[in-house]
Amino acid sequence: MSTHALRLAELTPATIDAALALRVRPDQEHLVAPVATSLAEAYVHGDTAWPRLILDGERPVGFVMAFFDVRFDPERPDDRPRSGLWRLLIDAGQQRGGYGRFAVEQVCAEVRRRGGTRATVTYHPGPDGPEAFYAGLGFRPTGELSGDQAVAERELEPLE
């Protein structure tokens, strides 16, 4: 992996099949929805979803989707709009190569670019879940749940 070759790219007719072919390991399938589900969610939440293919050069290695200005519980008066990581899927054969870290940092940069000061992530809690990965990137559990998923947040450095 060359960090100079890593980038996020919009999905196009030329890349959709490669995106749909991305798969996590079988033991991770309960932790993250397939790309097809993410794209359906992005379609119906087009104003808040930001789906991107993770490329190493021209080779697709994963998928990431961010969300922007979403209220988790609009019925609560103190619920504030949040932005952050909605979905992260690194292909089974590409894991442990730094691609997930790269994608999370790119999402955080986009949140900052849009004026955000905090990034939010939700994940399935448990010993086989990604909590340690997100903690290593500076995300701290808030104690909240979003459905059956734990919520964690990371304070973002302001843009200079």
CA gap 102, 116 in Å, rounded: 19
Residue 1 corresponds to which tokens in the numbers above? 């992996």
pLDDT at residue 75, as a whole number: 85
CA gap 128, 139 in Å, rounded: 17
pLDDT at residue 80, as a whole number: 87
Residue 112 has pLDDT above 90, yes or no: yes
Model confidence over 33-60: pLDDT tens digits? 999 999 999 999 989 999 999 999 999 9
pLDDT at residue 74, as a whole number: 80
pLDDT at residue 54, as a whole number: 98
pLDDT at residue 138, as a whole number: 97
Residue 1 has pLDDT above 60, yes or no: no
CA gap 138, 152 in Å, rounded: 9
The DSSP symbol for 31 reads T
CA gap 89, 34 in Å, rounded: 8
Residue 131 has pLDDT above 70, yes or no: yes
Do the strands 49-56 and 59-70 form a parallel or antiparallel pair, or are they unpaired? antiparallel
